[in-house]
Structure 1
Amino acid sequence: MDDETFWDVIEDCRRATPDPDERLEWLCERLQARSGNELLRFQEGLDRVLAPTLTWDLWGAADRIMGWCSDDTFFYFRLWLVGLGRDAFDRAVRDPDSLADVPGVRRLAGRPPQDREDEEVLEWEELDYVAVRAWEHVTGRTEEDFYDALESLVGGDADLTDPAGERWDARDDEQSHRRLPRLSVLFPLIQVS
């Protein structure tokens, strides 16, 4: 699946419903109409479009917005970026500080992470499993079979590399204000006494 087709599916999904759980069901139903090979290609497309999001600057943005960011949390945040659609996704890849314009990010501004509802967390982990779910339905085969077939198709796990760019600490106000000026204003560091 080429990038245009991948993004067309994601954009159709975004238009169908704003709710992430409903989007996931919509996406799974649409993918179940495709062949097993197309499902592998969807996952390959997802992995490919995620590649440029593996940067220290985006990790810093996620850390600043969410108040912390582990390896897993950053991966789920990157999947959430895909759910924003191609335009917002591309802007965030070019300029992570552009996330300050995203309504879901702005709604979190000034609120400590512990005061946020679960549905406000900026992640979409389940997107990484939608092709597997559809594959199991379409082929009658297992999740392990899916990943074996995917590895045969594309090779090893592309996400096992370090983030690109210079590593920096989003909790260092000076660095953060220099690299992410708008997000740093929206998400000031909370002083712990």
Structure 2
Amino acid sequence: MDVDEFWLFLQRSREVTSDPDERLRWLGVHLARSPLSRIVDFQILLNQIRRRSDTYDMWEAANLIFGGDCSTDGFWYFQAWLIGLGRDTFDLVVTDPDNLADVPEVRRLAGRSMREWTGEWPEWEALSYVAAGAYEEATGEQEGVYDAMARRGHRDQSDPHPTGLSWSSRNPTEAVRRLPRLSRIFSLGASEP
């Protein structure tokens, strides 16, 4: 599997259903039927692609959306969600996190209490584990995908390690300067946890 196939595979899951759980089932079933190398490729590519969104600017954009409370885990799950939106959207927001203001899935959350986000939370933790589940399904080896990755010189990631300069979206002047459009639709304190 190469990067184009990875994105096509995710796109096909989204064409089948928009429900995240059903997409995971589809991805898991189709990965488990694939050669083991393809399952390992999927996890390696997921990690590599996720790394592109692993910046302080993106974390602070997520922090704005989450009302100032985007934890390390929350950001990790947010990155997977971004990937799940597809290649075009991912590339758009990785280029400039302020472009999240144009993403329909983000705009639908604006101005609403986080309590009302049932089924719409911008996170997709389980995408991180779909390859592990498929590998186990195919081989019976629990977490065997990580050993297979290690044999190929890759280690799995489980936390963000952002690049760029650290800053805080809690500073309204800085948030408006760095994320002007997103700051207009999500201001810290506008959504309650």
TM-score higher than 0.5: yes
* Whole-Å separation in 2 of the counterparts to 1:131 and 1:12: 16
Change (3 A) 1:161 1:189: closer
- Displacement of 1:191 after TM fit? 7.2
Name the structure 2 match of 1:125: 125
Asked if the contact 2:146–2:156 (Cα under 8 Å) also holds between the matched residues in 1, the reply is no
1:85-132 deviation line (CA, Å, top 9, x unaligned) = 00000001001011111111111111233x233312100000011111
Name the structure 1 match of 2:40: 40
Asked if the contact 2:73–2:159 (Cα under 8 Å) also holds between the matched residues in 1, the reply is no
Name the structure 2 match of 1:155: 154
- Runs of 4 or more, structure 1, over 6 Å off, are none
Give the residue type in structure 1 aligned to 2:123. E
Identity of aligned residues (%): 45
- Displacement of 1:44 after TM fit? 0.5
* Whole-Å separation in 2 of the counterparts to 1:91 and 1:175: 22
Number of corresponding residues: 190
Name the structure 1 match of 2:110: 109
- Superposed CA RMSD: 1.7
Q: With structure 2 as the length reference, what TM-score do the two structures score?
A: 0.92
* Whole-Å separation in 2 of the counterparts to 1:95 and 1:177: 14
Segment of structure 1 superposing worse, 170-179 or 151-160: 151-160
Give the residue type in structure 2 aligned to 1:41. D
Change (3 A) 1:137 1:180: same
* Whole-Å separation in 2 of the counterparts to 1:160 and 1:109: 27
Name the structure 2 match of 1:54: 54
Task: Find the residue that maps to 2:9 and give its secondary structure.
Answer: helix
Q: Name structure 1 gaps, 5 residues minimum.
A: none
Asked if the contact 1:79–1:128 (Cα under 8 Å) also holds between the matched residues in 2, the reply is yes
Segment of structure 1 superposing worse, 38-47 or 148-157: 148-157
- Displacement of 1:157 after TM fit? 4.0
Q: Name structure 2 gaps, 5 residues minimum.
A: none
Residue 86 in structure 1 maps to residue 91 in structure 2: no
Asked if the contact 1:44–1:154 (Cα under 8 Å) also holds between the matched residues in 2, the reply is no
- Displacement of 1:159 after TM fit? 6.3
Higher helix share: 1
* Whole-Å separation in 1 of the counterparts to 2:63 and 2:18: 24
Task: Find the residue that maps to 2:188 and give its secondary structure.
Answer: coil
* Whole-Å separation in 2 of the counterparts to 1:119 and 1:91: 24
Q: With structure 1 as the length reference, what TM-score do the two structures score?
A: 0.92
Name the structure 1 match of 2:99: 98
